[in-house]
Amino acid sequence: MTPDLPPRDIARAVLMDAENRIYLIEYEAARDVDPARPGLRRLWVLPGGGCEAGESPEAALKRELAEEVGLRDPEIGPLVAVRNAPFELFRTPCFGRERIYLVRANPADLDTTNLAASESNPVLDSRWFTLQALQMSDMAIHPRGLLEVMTLIIHRKIGPDPVDLSDPPRSMQGAV
């Protein structure tokens, strides 16, 4: 762990619909998101957020999905990825201990009316994407490796162990 950053347990959702599109939220980062593209501060992130004291990742994810996208009591699927790494792009940097779960939802069930108000970092956009659209884009997406996880989910090749997306990536251990 990075000693100068406070640890933060984070729960996120690979929120996918029946057509295997993924829902992402675009934020304005506090710092440049890509050293190769100075000035770029737009970052697409999975819905979710920090766990409160004593809260399990699954309970935190349910709460975050209700706050951010209006999903009430969604079924939390399997843990598909983990990431243990510094997260320094938002206003409050931390050492993120992210747990990423698959959650299926109907787009009609989402209500983003309170999304911007529920966040401490500026929300710029949110929308559904196909894997192909993301592969062809030059958008900055967090976490790195998300498209590979999405591919494994779509092709039903996600393994019983979560994929490790830590920086630097240790493995694609969840891949079969």
Distance CA 28, CA 98 (A): 20
Q: Is residue 34 part of a domain?
A: yes
How many domains does the chain fold into?
A: 1
In a domain, 172, yes or no: no
For residue 14, tell me if it sits in a domain: yes
What contacts 17, CB < 8 A, 6 or more positions away?
23, 104, 105, 106, 107, 128
Q: What is the pTM of this model?
A: 0.89
For 143-162, the pLDDT digits (tens) are 989 999 999 999 999 989 99
Measured CA to CA, the distance from residue 19 to residue 163 in angstroms comes to 22
What's the pLDDT band for 168 if we cut at 50, 70, 90?
Answer: low
pLDDT band at 171 (very low <50, low <70, confident <90, very high): very low
* 92-105 average pLDDT score: 92
- Domain of residue 155 covers 7-164
Residue 170 lies in a domain: no
> Is 80 part of a structural domain of the chain?
yes
**Separation in Å, CA 163 to CA 89, 101, 124, 154:** 22, 11, 28, 15
Q: What is the per-residue pLDDT for 89? A: 67
Instruction: Give yes or no for residue 170 having a pLDDT over 60.
Output: no
Q: pLDDT tens, 24-33? A: 999 988 888 8
Q: Is residue 62 part of a domain?
A: yes
- CATH of residue 13's domain is 3.90.79.10
pLDDT per residue over 31-74, tens digit each? Answer: 888 888 899 889 999 999 999 999 999 999 999 999 999 999 99
